[in-house]
Amino acid sequence: MKRTLGIGLAVVLLVGVVTAIVLGQGGDTAQLQTVRGVIGSEKLAFFADQRVKDVFAKHGLEVEVDPAGSRQIATTADLDSYDFAFPSSAPAAEKIQRDRKAARTYAPFSSPMVIATFDPIVDLLTKAGVVKSGPGYPTFDVQAYLGLVAQGTRWDQLPGNTSYPARKNLLVTTTDPRDSNSAAMYLAITSFVANGGVVTSADGEARVLPAVSRLFLDQGYTQSSTEGPFEDYLSAGMGKTPLVLAYEAQFVDRVVRGDSSIRPDMKLLYPAPTVLSKHTLVPLRAAGDRVGELLTSDAELGRLAATFGFRTADPRHFDDVVKDLAVPRTIVDVVEPPAHETLERMLEAIAKQY
């Protein structure tokens, strides 16, 4: 009987030791502090990745996120139940920080706005003076493009066009400006060019609205999420979407993953000028501040973010990921978007015309 009790006690002790080792290695998720955030939908795959979850777990955190549009996060989302807000644009974060009186913000990664297109379209627009050889990468001259749009130019009116003689207006496909952050970033770019600088006044808004409104209204139906037109670009091809506004990260992410939907004839053009979609985290509580710190300083999280196509606070992470890709390491012609209130007024003025 004593021998049996001794063996039983040894087994219990052994199980206890093994359990302690497992718990010491982060196996006890019950001991993790749950942190909740509302994020721009472009980052949902990053936060859902098990490798990212594991890094947070090593720091004692379990991060739960809900996706929402950046404009929605800044204006209508109920932030009281969250520890941090993480929109995809600096203007939206600026408003949240001001409204919530947050002491600081974090901008751990960003993505420039790009035009995704195809080789035949690049050739056509090069002849038309819209696509040019930039500082080591092809650029999309927004001023020249606005000139063609102002004339109501159709694709089949471009000189020597035999590769894409479509009887529709030459327009970049975007998302709906009433819903989407990427459309707001497009408005930031085009309003800057139309105004000759960042729009900062009511006079500036009135001056540029006739030109920039038609960029959206003349498209007809537009989708609410950036994934929509980008998926059309990948699946339907040049016939439906010869030019589509996208985040650079969307394209790079697929190339890095070896996605077969990215074909050799697909190309990226960088608007001149462009804007950065700055993914900016606003801590609402102390736990959210910890997430911001880790995303900015933790090298492992930085490397993982780069694999999703994001340009990180430490540029070496992104450079390592794209070293074999035809992606510029530095974007030269980058401008700032208008303040949140100015951008919102212009978006609302366009929305009223639908």
Q: Model confidence over 42-91: pLDDT tens digits? A: 899 999 999 999 999 999 999 999 998 888 899 899 999 999 999 999 99
Question: Does residue 177 contact residue 184 with C-beta atoms inside 8 Å?
Answer: yes
CA angle at residue 88 from 331 to 257, to 5 degrees?
70
pLDDT digits (tens, 9 = 90+) for 284-339: 999 999 999 999 999 999 999 999 999 998 999 999 999 888 899 999 999 999 99
Instruction: Please report which confidence band the pLDDT of residue 29 belongs to, taking 50, 70 and 90 as the band edges.
Output: low
Who's near 249: CB < 8 A, 6+ residues apart? 42, 111, 308, 309, 310, 311
Contact between 276 and 114 (Cβ < 8 Å): no
What is the CATH number assigned to the segment(s) 112-276+331-351? 3.40.190.10
What is each CA distance from 270 to 139, 140, 186, 303, 331, in whole angstroms? 5, 6, 12, 24, 8
pTM of the model: 0.87
- Encode pLDDT of 134-162 as tens digits: 788 999 999 999 999 999 999 999 988 99
Neighbours of 341 (CB within 10 A): 11
Radius of gyration of the chain from its Cα atoms, rounded to whole angstroms: 24
Dist. CA 8–CA 17, nearest whole Å: 14
Q: What is the C-alpha separation between 89 and 63, in angstroms, rounded?
A: 21
**CATH numeric code, 29-110+278-321:** 3.40.190.10
Q: Where along the chain do the CATH 3.40.190.10 domains lie?
A: 29-110+278-321, 112-276+331-351
